[in-house]
Amino acid sequence: MKEILVVYYSQSGQLKDLLTNILKPLSNNEYHITYKNIEPVKKYNFPWSSDEFFDVMPESVLGINCELKHIDFEKTKYDLIILAYQVWYLSPSIPFWSFLNEKKYSKMLENTKVLTVIGARNMWIMAHKNVSIKLRQLQANHIGNIVFVDKHNNLISVLTIMKWMFTGEKGPYKNLPNAGVSNKEIVESEKYGNLITEAFKNNTFGNLQTEIVKIGGVPINFALKISETNAKRIFNIWANKILSKGKAGNTNRLPLIRIFKYYLIFLIFAISPIATILFTIVYYLFYPLTSKNLKRTSLLKDY
């Protein structure tokens, strides 16, 4: 019997839904699947208040860990470990990043096949870069990455996710669609489980990522990728400035946090549409290079 460990953090439960659907084809006596939930000692409230939502920016961007509740793992070795995370401010969410940084769990990842699953709005590449580098440092065998995003227009997905994050309700906002990953995609995600069973049966994990990409498992967009790269640099500057006023939750940093909030809204609604047009032109002008760049990222050969 193959032992599969799934470690995840999810506030709304969206990622857990995705994981149980992905793993449906493996629900038989050939596989034993264990789910472990990452739990911060001090819970991040969901739905969020506006101040709490923006206050996690510095620690997310700078990769500052939070304290986690201890997780008991029944085994020390698994045939496959699935790590599922969401993106906070172009970075892995604080609870997930804190888990990856817990030395007591790293041994388990060493020389073990690791599949990452991301559930984000649509900007996941910078976070994936951090996680991939970390997995390499931990000597994990990162064999695959499946990404789920909101496929609606960037600005629409910002509006719907804000409503979701601040009310806890995913579903439709005025005339706008549901937030997050669509129900259809969640239900259909078992197609990735079929690929995993094939890889186990034929021992073809080396080919798994190519198969994932073939069936649409890595939605990737050049304009968003370049926007993310630039935004992450800017977030870093803000994060250091805000952190110099105090640690998470310190009211001394609230004024700057609130200025950052309006700056971010300006960036998203005034700057990003123009940037998207420019970067899309660059994408087509240099198509052989830019498309190769995206392909390498989706195949885990580069970030």
Ligand X SMILES: Cc1cc2nc3c(=O)[nH]c(=O)nc-3n(C[C@H](O)[C@H](O)[C@H](O)COP(=O)(O)O)c2cc1C
Which residues form the interface with ligand X (CB under 6 A)? 10-12, 14-15, 53, 56, 86-90, 119-124, 165, 180
By C-beta, is 118 or 199 nearer to ligand X? 118
By C-beta, is 121 or 134 nearer to ligand X? 121
CA distance 155 to 116: 27
CB of 94 to ligand X, least distance (A): 9
Secondary structure letter of residue 206 according to DSSP = G
CB of 8 to ligand X, least distance (A): 8
| CB-CB contact of 198 with 214 (8 Å) | no
| CB-CB contact of 294 with 282 (8 Å) | no
Point out the residue whose Cβ comes nearest to ligand X: 12
Q: What b/e readout covers 79-110, taking b as 16+ CB neighbours within 10 angstroms?
A: ebbbbbbbbbbbbbbbbbbbbbeeeebbebbe
The greatest distance separating any two alpha carbons of the chain, rounded to the nearest whole angstrom, comes to 57
By C-beta, is 31 or 150 nearer to ligand X? 150
CB of 223 to ligand X, least distance (A): 14
Instruction: Report helix, strand or coil for 12.
Output: coil
Compute how many other C-beta atoms are within 10 angstroms of the C-beta atom of residue 39. 13
- According to DSSP, the β-strands at 91-92 and 87-88 are antiparallel
CB of 279 to ligand X, least distance (A): 17
For residue 50, give the H/E element and its range: helix 50-55
Tokens at 253, concatenated: 């940093």
By C-beta, is 66 or 123 nearer to ligand X? 123
By C-beta, is 90 or 226 nearer to ligand X? 90
CB of 89 to ligand X, least distance (A): 5
